Amino acid sequence: MSPDAPTTEAPLFEARDLVKRFRSRGTVVQAVNGVSLRIPRGRTVGLVGESGSGKSTVARLALRLLDPTSGQVTFDGVDLLRASRGQMQALRRRMQIVFQDPLGSLNPRMRVLDAVGEPLAVHRIAKGSARVDRVVELLERVGLRSSDLYRFSHQFSGGQAQRIGIARALATDPDLIVCDEAVSALDVSVQAQMLNLLKRLQSELGLSYLFIAHDLNVVRYMADEVCVMYLGQIVERGDGDTLFADPRHPYTGMLVSALPEFAPERADGRARRAVPRGEPASPSSPPPGCRFHPRCPKAMQRCREEAPALHGVADGRAAACHLFDAGREASAR
């Protein structure tokens, strides 16, 4: 669903015009610059882009683990930036995160019972035997067994550890889970199991996901709507299948053309098609005009001087590119 499409239901989560700048070694880093997102209930919005595009900063702004320099974030109608401490505590139960490194994100000295049960203790949801029962229920929901209860995280494989991370995120019965590169560290076959688990949990529990990854295929599989980020900005958004079949923004086109093709003669079954051209600029000194212009094969003089706005193009999509300014779309294709 496009955020620009009319909808009768208020979204569960909405971010408007988020900006995040911070100082690093005497320079100002523009990590996020004018990002807006809307996540309907029970749906998945995917954020994709190269490393350094600002995806993970958006994740932290969404959960208010970071405060934005400017912009607005609402969750179920509550303005998170104006929420009281008590309100924020109650809302944190409903917004959880699954991290990239499943083993690194778990305390190796904690048993599974304590790792998954910790949010139940912190939020005073259950204690004693009720907590144990709830942890067993969570483990079984994610495909682990009650006999895993007293094992330590280092005794599990990466995929099993990520199941523990997901069980922990589910403990407080959240509405929104931010998956920040949640499957990126896993083997391809384990990735597929984890994506299917997340999909099943979504349909069973009505979860909404903000799904962040650098792998387009993964985002395409998971997301109802895909947002492509480049140097802190969303440059294209739209339905995943349409966007991948017919990318409008030159950066999306470059990412799609670099997707691995199925190549059964190779040991891993995948072959690379094209290497993305050039490297992104530093977020501390983004190029003037369109931030993508130094890498864009279609750059014009105007692109070096004027930043394009994100606006609607065909098929309910939006793109930030001068090629799609009014009246130019036909000539751009």
- Of the residues 15, 171, 296, 310, which one makes contact with ligand SF4 according to CB under 6 A: 296
Stretch that binds ligand SF4, among 132-140, 252-260, 280-288, 298-306 (CB under 6 A): 298-306
Rounded CA separation 52/50 (Å): 6
Rule CB under 6 A: which of 83-112 touch ligand SF4? none
**Count of residues touching ligand SF4 (by CB under 6 A):** 14
Closest by CA position to 246, among listed 226, 229, 265, 269: 226
Does 15 bind ligand SF4 (CB under 6 A)? Our answer is no
Q: Quickly tell me which residue has 């989560």 as its tokens.
A: 13
Contact 295, 258 (CB under 8 A): no
- Of the residues 298, 311, 328, 333, which one makes contact with ligand SF4 according to CB under 6 A: 298
Stretch that binds ligand SF4, among 73-81, 133-141, 143-151, 286-294 (CB under 6 A): 286-294
Provide, rounded to whole angstroms, the least separation between the CB of residue 289 and ligand SF4. Answer: 7
Does 317 bind ligand SF4 (CB under 6 A)? Our answer is no
Does 248 bind ligand SF4 (CB under 6 A)? Our answer is no
Q: Hey, CA dihedral for 96, 100, 103, 109, is it positive or negative?
A: negative
Provide, rounded to whole angstroms, the least separation between the CB of residue 321 and ligand SF4. Answer: 3
301 burial (CB, 10 Å; 0-12 / 13-18 / 19+) is exposed
Provide, rounded to whole angstroms, the least separation between the CB of residue 303 and ligand SF4. Answer: 3
- Of the residues 13, 75, 211, 292, which one makes contact with ligand SF4 according to CB under 6 A: 292
Rounded CA separation 163/100 (Å): 12
Stretch that binds ligand SF4, among 15-23, 206-214, 258-266, 287-295 (CB under 6 A): 287-295
Does 321 bind ligand SF4 (CB under 6 A)? Our answer is yes
Provide, rounded to whole angstroms, the least separation between the CB of residue 305 and ligand SF4. Answer: 10
Rule CB under 6 A: which of 137-176 touch ligand SF4? none
For residue 32, give the 3-state DSSP assignment: strand
Instruction: Mention every residue, 6+ apart, whose C-beta is less than 8 A from residue 296.
Output: 250, 251, 290, 303
Provide, rounded to whole angstroms, the least separation between the CB of residue 2 and ligand SF4. Answer: 20
- Of the residues 31, 39, 135, 303, which one makes contact with ligand SF4 according to CB under 6 A: 303
104: left (phi over 0), alpha (psi -120 to 50) or beta: alpha
Does 250 bind ligand SF4 (CB under 6 A)? Our answer is yes
Closest by CA position to 205, among listed 142, 144, 143, 132: 142
What backbone torsions phi and psi does residue 302 show, to the nearest 5 degrees? -60, -35
Question: Side-chain half-sphere of 111: how many Cα atoms within 13 Å?
Answer: 10
What backbone torsions phi and psi does residue 161 show, to the nearest 5 degrees? -65, -35
Contact 64, 88 (CB under 8 A): yes
DSSP assigned state of 111:
B
- Of the residues 1, 83, 259, 299, which one makes contact with ligand SF4 according to CB under 6 A: 299
Stretch that binds ligand SF4, among 170-178, 196-204, 262-270, 293-301 (CB under 6 A): 293-301
* Residue ranges that bind ligand SF4, judged by CB under 6 A: 249-250, 290, 292-293, 296, 298-300, 303, 308, 321-323
